[in-house]
Structure 1
Amino acid sequence: MRKLGFYISILVCSVLGNSVFAQVAQAESPDGKLRLNVFSENGKALYNVVYEGKTMLDKSPLGLVTNESDFSDHLKFVDSKKDKFSKKYSNEKIKKSAIDYEANTLLVNFTNANQNSIGIEFRLSNNNLAFRYQIAPMKERLSAVVEKEVTGYRFPSQTTTFLSPMMKPMTGFARTAPSYESGYEADAALGKKAEYGYVFPGLFRVGNDGWILLSETGVDSHYVASHLDTTSEKNLYQVAFPNAAENNGFGSTGAAISLPSETPWRTITVGSSLKPIVETTIPFDVVAPLYEPSQKYEFGKSTWSWILWQDESMNEKDQKTFIDLASSLNYQFILIDALWDKNIGKARMKELIDYAKFKNVDVLLWYNSNGAANDAPMGPRNKMSSAIERKKEMKWLKEVGVKGLKVDFFGGDKQETMKLYEDILSDANDFGLAIIFHGATLPRGWEVMFPNYAGSEAVLASEMLYFSEGIRKQEAFFATLHPFIRNTVGSMEFGGTFLNKYLTKSNKDKNQRLTTDAFQLATAVLFQNPIQMFGVMPNNLTDAPKFQLDFMKIVPTLWDDTQFIDGYPGKYSVVARRHQNQWYVAGVNAEKTVKKLKLNLPMMAGQTVKLINDDAKGNSSEKEVKVNAKGDFNVDIQPNGGFVLRN
């Protein structure tokens, strides 16, 4: 019998030859739950991902193609090396202020048909896999252009998707797309086509086995920002480079690199529940600051008139009103938006800044990013797009006491545009200016990489609630998605939390808000950004209940911890955040019926806390409630409603 078993095992190895002996390397996360396998088969480099014994990604392609050498085919495994990586760091701008990152590393080296070398560096932390390519000099070449990646993600057949499509280039307002401002479809079929692909991040549900979040991080001027695209194989998604039409057709779709070079990180977060998805810090764990801060930057809350008072409010009188509002709310900032250069001018702007200083409010100013990439007409224009003009302008901004800029209308992911983002941030740091980007791409680790970076829009944000009834009808649906997708990988300057019943200056007649007041207050916690513009209006000082104003005065924008409590993307979401010793738990409901939840809140166990919630008619109120000694708490969330607990 032993001899028979021996011959059977030899037969199996012979029949399965390539499958048995194709695996060339393997690594696990520190807790052993996440496993990576790397393969070399028929000249291809492949990998798969297993979590708690369940396959989350089937064998998926690795590699890239340059103009000098092809690293996607005819690859030969050379060797592999394992190691460990750890670091402790702090960053007040992200979802957790202090992080202890530990990972097991794996470096796998291949050569191609031209005997050029490429390494693939993997880092596995608990629930997270990050990897990037290391490209060596190619014989006499010390420069190359990466033309495409074949990096892919092959999902099990039971997977559904939560994705947002890339916008068609040179469409939308003044041809400023793509700007990461499309909606989402929840639980869509695997392999559903989008003409221009899908933005990062992308969320996938692998049936009952768990969840996967895909994104990228560490993108700067040395590479392009990429996105996801479908392939001819329904289960396979691949990394795709920018569309040639972006930025009015200017700039390469590839990445010009100096050799040796490393690409940005591809990140994969895996969990049997959504908890690791919401709490992941992998976009920040694998990147490092690119320069030292020139000063300590301040972050916080801001008023802005434009969101409801629009262009007509760009005058001294209205801006003083919003400075007074910021002062009344103890907000750190006012954002003075587009057209200030024409309607107020620099001389009177200095007087306005002095008035704000007297009121203990700092000023942020809006700028158009444009030079030649699109047709956005609002000014100031042509001040951020060239180094000479930019530095002259920033010198003036520092002299008059401006603290930061909101730079708008980028519309592209080409390397040329990544360089513009980096140049604006770097120059701004020289002059002590914080930077927020609107009409922009997804931030990819920038909170750590750029000390003066203060957030990005890159979402279907509050302005579309003003302009579109269709978006107002979907406000709750999208709000239940953001904590699991867009906002979990980077800061999200949403610009909302409206206390007006109607999204107009007059607070009547049109643009009726379809979500409750408690929903709006909950989003101030659900949506995270170091500087958040809030939609509180001057009339709210008299027409909003005191408890709502009190909440908007104290709610932080900087958090020391973030925890997933409950939820399902597109249906409801409950998240807890801590600022210093105070916890906030916030939830919203996008379903058409009341959501009755039993929550476990150990951070509030045995405490008497304040609850803001809605009644059956959608009216919001605040009261004190008790969380039991086990941390259990029952709450009902009304349709299009929300709640907030705070201790």
Structure 2
Amino acid sequence: MKKFTLIFLSLISFCFKAQVAEISSPDGKLKLNVFSEEGKASYTVTFQGKTMLGKSPLGLITNESDFSENLKFISSKKDNISKKYTNEKIKKSEVEYKANVLTVSFINADQFNIGIEFQVSNNNVAFRYDIPPMKDRFSIVVQSEVTGYRFPPQTTTFLSPMMKPMTGFARTAPSYESGYKADAELGAKSDYGYVFPGLFHIGNDGWILLSETGVNSLYCASHLNTTAEKKLYQVAYPDMAENNGFGSSGAALSLPGKTPWRTITIGDSLKPIVETTIPFDVVDPLYKPSQKYQFGRSTWSWILWQDASMNYDDQIKFIDLAAALKYELILIDALWDKNIGKERMKELVQYARSKNVGVMLWYNSNGAANDAPMGPRNKMNTSVERKKEMKWLKETGVKGLKVDFFGGDKQETMRLYEDILSDANDFGLTIIFHGATLPRGWEVMYPNYAGSEAVLASEMLYFSEDVRKQEAFFATLHPFIRNTVGSMEFGGTFLNKFLTQSNKEKNRRSTTDGFQLATAVLFQNPIQMFAVMPNNLVDTPKFQLDFMKEIPTLWDETVFIDGYPGKYSAVARRHQDKWYVVGINAGKSVKKLKLKLPMAAGKNMELINDDKSGTTFTKTISISKKGEYEIEIQPNGGFVLKN
């Protein structure tokens, strides 16, 4: 008996020493524990008493010292944070953020310190490393992280593979434009890892979304990689082959320095995943806006009329289209420098201004990173040329730029993103990035930032029959994964039945008009490049055009209604006092839903939906006093409810 008691006391003593700190969310449902065992740091996450992440490694390795092993726990301290902020560019314009804060400090074998700051809010964990000066060392290179996420064995994944560097069009990859596999096997290998964000289904216990935020010029972006242990995923830094092999794969950091935030969103349903604001909660603006920036809707010819439309006369037609739709903007795409020229561009900008339409212009980001040939080239990649060009753009009256072809996550490229944004703010220009990485808190960090592609977007619907067939499948994923962590410049909502300039013969659309209208709300970006064409003014039903004329692009509230990624999705968004409820169905059969809409209880709403033949119609319906409404969504179809 005495021997058993000693063993029991020893186990208690060991557990006490192993677990060095813990913290819970304000509502107490989410709990994080930090451990120090055999010289290594790790953490666990439970939600409502269920293990969501088992013991997962913490630490990083620098060129000066190793913070992944031989770590000794020093101390921990707790605090809390509460703040309110507004941002019109994200899914919710007014946000109140409350979190409990835990900072844990370790010392390594070289007697250098490292801190790990955790912020735990309801349904979210954010953490980052804090590295103080190392005696006389005030600069280091962070070479890698051991940061990991160890999932329960029943987990399935929703991930998009990282593209092989220097492949794809003109060697512009990786550009976050791969597809997804739904409910895939845990630990399935990908040659180059998986992009952030990644969604994980923990069976009956809930869901986890992994991402990162707060990446700027001071660090590289990262992604997920598998390990020899199928349950464990780790943070990985860029491949050396990116950017044609130029630039480090790690991060040069001035000390004291902090890494970007790793974010974990957890829920027993998908509601916290869709509605999370954690990518924006833990970051702050890096500079003040030089002016009040304009966001809104835009026409663009290239998506269906392609390169041949980059001429003066066709752009006049799309300026007129924007004016007819009362859109704020037109995007004039690649090759305008050659086919229109700067002098005639001044005339176009003046004509657009007379129609109350602002002009955005396309630019190639490229210097030496890839082989994308379209112009304007070599205007955005160096400070001297960029400022010259932006001075001309401001004098001409251009409102913003769409900058394309980045292809990489190295710190060198993160610096280019930030330099373009910062310089553009000096000249009052909004910026959209295309052929680009995931935005990581940039809506807050950069006031003139207006969205990124970083998705298998609308242009591939034009080029690929396979992507057209899977359009509904991919669209049902985006509210839960890519678009929930950042603005997504998709460039869709086609009203042409055939994705061609003639609207006939080839590239037949696989989805209904109801589906296309629903995605105008389902996909969120402060500037939406809609694929409405001049012919749609005469060949599209009036109620559909009326919808496209009134649709906002800025939202005050976003609410998850129903859905399962890859199968169907229903989301509600509010602009001022007007609600839009939309849903789409990727299944092969009709999807019947009982929508719970407390925001519309007892009210009449306009319904846009598809009948069994795929014809889209509209009518007025009444929501019950309980806030419930039953609806059917056709295969590859969609609906809109609006008050």
Q: How high is the TM-score relative to the length of structure 1? A: 0.99
Q: What's 2:263 paired with?
A: 267
Offset at residue 21 of structure 1 (A): 2.9
Show the counterpart of 2:516.
520
Q: What's 1:545 paired with? A: 541
5 Å-filtered alignment, 1:579-590, equals 579-590=575-586
User: What is the alpha-carbon distance in structure 2 between the residues aligned to residue 15 and residue 605 of structure 1?
Assistant: 57
- 2:327 and 2:466 mapped to 1: Cα distance? 31
Which amino acid letter does the alignment assign opposite residue 559 of structure 1? W
The residue aligned with 1:481 is 477
- Inter-CA distance 9–274: structure 2 relative to 1 (3 Å threshold): farther
Q: Secondary structure of 1:480's match? A: helix
Contact 1:96 1:560 in 2 (8 A): yes
- For 1:231, the aligned partner's letter is T
The Cα shift of 1:86 comes to: 1.1
- Selected match of 1:162 from 158, 162, 166: 158
Q: Distance in 2 between matches of 1:570 and 1:10?
A: 54
Q: Are 2:307 and 1:311 equivalent residues in the alignment?
A: yes
* Kept after mapping to 2: 8 A contact 1:217/1:265: yes
Q: What SS is found at the alignment partner of 2:204?
A: coil
Q: Which residue of 1 aligns with 2:200?
A: 204
Counterpart selection for 1:301 from 290, 294, 297: 297
- Pick from 228, 253, 278 the counterpart of residue 257 of structure 1: 253
In the TM superposition, residue 36 of structure 1 has moved relative to its aligned partner by 0.3
Q: Secondary structure at the match of 1:162?
A: strand
Equivalent-residue separation in structure 1 for 2:574 and 2:8 (angstroms): 56
SS in 1 for 2:351: helix
> Which residue does the alignment assign to 1:341?
337
Q: Give 1:493's match in structure 2, choosing from 463, 485, 489.
A: 489
CA–CA distance in structure 1, aligned partners of residues 336 and 574 of structure 2 = 37
1:144-293 equivalent positions in 2, closer than 5 A: 144-293=140-289
Q: Distance in 1 between matches of 2:13 and 2:637?
A: 58
Alignment match of 1:21 (pick from 17, 20, 25): 17
Contact map agreement 1:614 1:620 (CA 8 A) in 2? yes
Q: Which of 568, 578, 584 in structure 1 is aligned with 2:574? A: 578
User: Counterpart in 1 of 2:387?
Assistant: 391
Q: Which amino acid aligns with 1:590?
A: A
Name the counterpart of 1:368. 364
AA of the residue aligned to 1:491: S
Deviations 1:4-61 (A, max 9, x none): 6x97554224257534530000000000000000000000000000000000000000
| 1:97 and 1:561 in contact (8 A); partners too | yes
Separation (CA, whole Å) in 1 of partners of 2:45 and 2:411: 30
Deviations 1:370-413 (A, max 9, x none): 00000000000000000000000000000000000000000000
For 2:243, what is the secondary structure of its paired residue?
helix
Q: Deviations over 1:552-610 (max 9, x none)?
A: 00111000000000000000000000000000000000011100000100001000100
1:531 to 527, 552, 557: 527
The Cα offsets for residues 44-81 of structure 1, whole Å up to 9 and x where unpaired, read as 00000000000000000000000000000000000000
1:122: which partner in 2?
118
Instruction: Give yes or no for the alignment of 1:608 onto 2:604.
Output: yes
Q: How do residues 434-473 of structure 1 correspond to structure 2 at under 5 angstroms?
A: 434-473=430-469
For 1:254-311, what per-residue CA distance to the aligned partner results, in whole angstroms no more than 9, with x for missing partners?
1000000000000000000000000000000000000000000010000000000000
Amino acid paired to 1:18: F
SS of the equivalent of 2:473 reads helix
Amino acid at match of 1:204: F
Is the CA contact 1:18–1:41 (under 8 Å) kept in the aligned structure 2? no
AA partner of residue 470 (structure 1)? D
CA distance in 2, matches of 1:621, 1:175: 44
Distance 1:100 1:339 in 2: 44
Question: Alpha carbons of 1:554 and 1:9: their partners in 2 closer, same or farther (altered >3 Å)?
Answer: farther
Task: Confirm whether residue 400 of structure 1 aligns to residue 396 of structure 2.
Answer: yes
Give, in angstroms, the shift of residue 183 of structure 1.
0.2
Question: What CA distance in whole angstroms lies between the structure 2 residues aligned with 1:394 and 1:87?
Answer: 36
Is 1:98 matched up with 2:98?
Answer: no
Q: Which residue is equivalent to 1:507? A: 503
Q: Distance in 1 between the 2:493 and 2:157 partners?
A: 28
**Secondary structure in structure 1 of the residue aligned to 2:272:** helix
TM norm structure 2: 0.99
Cα drift, residue 140 of structure 1? 1.2
* Partner SS state of residue 388, structure 1: helix
Q: Deviations over 1:347-378 (max 9, x none)?
A: 00000000000010000000000000000000
* Inter-partner Cα distance in structure 2 for 1:71 and 1:192: 28
Deviations 1:302-351 (A, max 9, x none): 00000000000000100000000000000000000000000000000000
User: Are the equivalent residues in 2 in contact too, given 1:13–1:20 (CA < 8 A)?
Assistant: no
For 1:336 and 1:475, how far apart are their aligned partners in 2? 25
Q: Distance in 1 between matches of 2:69 and 2:429?
A: 46
Helix, strand or coil: the match of 1:208? helix
CA distance in 2, matches of 1:19, 1:338: 62
Q: Is the 8 A contact 1:181 1:458 kept in 2?
A: yes
> 1:554 matched to which residue of 2?
550
Where 1:317 maps in the other structure, the secondary structure is helix
Structure 1: gaps of 5 or more residues: none
SS at structure 1 position matched to 2:514: helix
Letter in 2 for 1:646: K
Q: Deviations over 1:134-178 (max 9, x none)?
A: 001111100000000110000000000000000000000000000
Matching residue's letter, 1:164: S
Residues of 2 paired with 1:574 and 1:471: CA distance?
Answer: 22
Deviation at 1:437, TM superposition (A): 0.1
Pick one of 631, 641, 645 that aligns with 2:641. 645
RMSD of the TM alignment (CA)? 0.9
